[in-house]
Structure formats: C-alpha cells, structure tokens
C-alpha cells in the first residue's frame, strides 16, 4: 500500500478551510446579471449599493426595463433567496417578491442619493425592521414583520433617524477606478473590483490594479484598512502598511 505523501498527511489549516468554504462574487460579475422574481423576470443588476461604514451590501439596484418603464428599483439582500436554495446561479439572482409588490414600493428617482428618509419609507413599505434597528451585527435585528423593541433598541433607532437626510449608502459602480492612496500620500493603484461574500453580502476585499510598473499584479485590500473615502476627489486612502493579498 503506498505511503501517504506529506501533502496528503497534512490537515487543512483554518485559513485553508475558509478559502474552500467561503464563496465570493465580484461586483463586475454581478453587473448585468438577470434578476428573477416570483412571477417572472424583473430586469438586470445595474448597481450594488453598500453602507460605507460597514461595507455591507444594502441594496441591489435592478433596472426593470420594459415592465416598469425602465425604472430602477432596490432589492435588499433579505429578499434574495439563500445560496442553498440556488438563488445565486451563474447568471441570475432569485428574489421572493413579485412585480406588483416591487412596482408599488416607494419611488426612487434615478441617480438620487439614498437618504435615511427614503430607507425609512422603504422598510415601512416592506414591513421590515431597518438594519440600524437593534442587533449587534451589520444587519441589525432584522425582524419581518418588525419585532417589538426594547427601550435601548428604540433609542438607537431614534439616534439613527437624526441623520434622516444623510447618505451612507454608496454605489460600487461609482467607486470603480477610484485612486487608492497610502497614508504617506503615495498612489498605489486604482480600484478595479469588489469581492462580496455570498450569504452575508459583505464586501470582504477591494481589488486594486497596481500603479507600480515594476509590480503590475492586481492585489486586494481588506476594507478594514480603508481610512477615508473622498467621493469628490474619487480617492480611497488606506493605512500603511497595507494588509493585502495578491489575486495571482
């Protein structure tokens, strides 16, 4: 009987197991992906909106095309079926909503910022707790229908509503090709994509194309290293030394 090689004898490290079990989708891969509802096609993915404080995906922007006069609508990941239910296939997303429910949702003007005021209307319409309502993770309590709240949770909600006209929801499409700057002001590359974990819908890595002609490899930066996003200057400043992994 052949003797097992050292490679065969070695057990997987936790990091190896994580790499094998965690599944990613890139923002560019999802762009243009078909979105299927209960009663047929809803359109295609036009953009992905994240919370720029937690890097959680808050909404998938769907361009409805013909059935809703091309209007763009928002779908929260809570309405996207679990991966185990084959909701995320190679070429489509499946959601547990029909056209009528989506068509009657609060109107979002194309290109308008997503304010806390609009989000409040959105979650009230879908009879869901907003993600800032209670809970200890990026998704909050997440009750559907809304669950009774403790005084502490209500206080967090009231504090969040003080920012009713502020916007923390940002477009990944708009952040493509932002310059990435180290804290010493050196330009190290530009954003080329975003890696999103299936299931929890969080951006785990920002893919960057290196600006160094001697090291042209793409690499990924952990969002935890991001110190500032300047939307006017279209730059992302990261801490130095940068925590990154190569994509090769």
Residue 168 is predicted with a pLDDT of: 82
pTM to 2 decimals?
0.79
Question: Quick one: which of 170, 63, 164, 56 has its CA closest to 115?
Answer: 164
Query: How is residue 198 annotated by DSSP?
Result: T
For tokens 């890097």, name the residue: 55
For 31-109+167-174, the fitting CATH number among 3.40.30.10, 3.90.50.10, 2.60.200.20, 3.40.470.10 is 3.90.50.10
Residue 134 is predicted with a pLDDT of: 57
> Which neighbouring-strand residues pair with 45?
62
* 149-185 residue pLDDT tens: 667 766 766 666 666 556 789 999 999 999 999 988 8
Fold of the CATH domain 176-246: SH3 type barrels. (2.30.30)
User: What residues have CB less than 8 Å from 160, skipping those under 6 apart?
Assistant: 116, 130, 132, 133
Question: What 3-state class would DSSP assign to 83?
Answer: helix
Where in the chain are the domains? 31-109+167-174, 115-166, 176-246
The low-confidence residues of the chain, meaning pLDDT below 50, are 1-20, 84-88, 136, 143-146, 248
Q: What angle do CA 138, 24, 191 make, to 5 degrees?
A: 85
């Amino acid at each position: 009987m052949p003797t097992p090689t050292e490679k065969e004898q070695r057990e997987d490290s936790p990091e190896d197991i994580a790499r094998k079990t965690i599944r990613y989708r890139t923002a560019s891969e999802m762009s243009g992906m078909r979105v299927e509802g209960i009663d047929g096609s809803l359109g295609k993915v036009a953009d992905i909106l994240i919370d720029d404080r937690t890097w959680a995906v808050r909404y998938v922007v769907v361009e409805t095309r013909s059935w809703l006069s091309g209007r763009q609508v928002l779908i929260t990941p809570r309405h996207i079926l679990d991966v185990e239910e084959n909701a995320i296939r190679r070429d489509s997303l499946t959601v547990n909503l029909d056209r009528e429910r989506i068509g009657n949702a609060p109107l979002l003007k194309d290109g308008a910022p997503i304010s806390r005021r609009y989000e409040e209307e959105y979650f009230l319409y879908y009879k869901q707790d907003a993600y800032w309502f209670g809970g200890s993770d990026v998704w909050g309590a997440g009750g559907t229908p809304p669950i009774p709240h403790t005084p502490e949770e209500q206080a967090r909600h009231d504090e969040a509503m003080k920012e009713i006209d502020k916007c923390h929801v940002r477009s990944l499409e708009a952040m493509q090709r932002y310059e990435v700057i180290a804290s010493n002001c050196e330009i190290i590359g530009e954003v080329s994509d975003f890696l999103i974990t299936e299931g929890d819908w969080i951006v785990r890595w920002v893919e960057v194309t290196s600006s160094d002609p001697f090291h042209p490899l793409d690499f990924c930066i952990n969002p935890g290293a991001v110190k500032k996003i300047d939307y006017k200057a279209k730059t992302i400043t990261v801490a130095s030394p940068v925590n990154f992994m190569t994509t090769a």
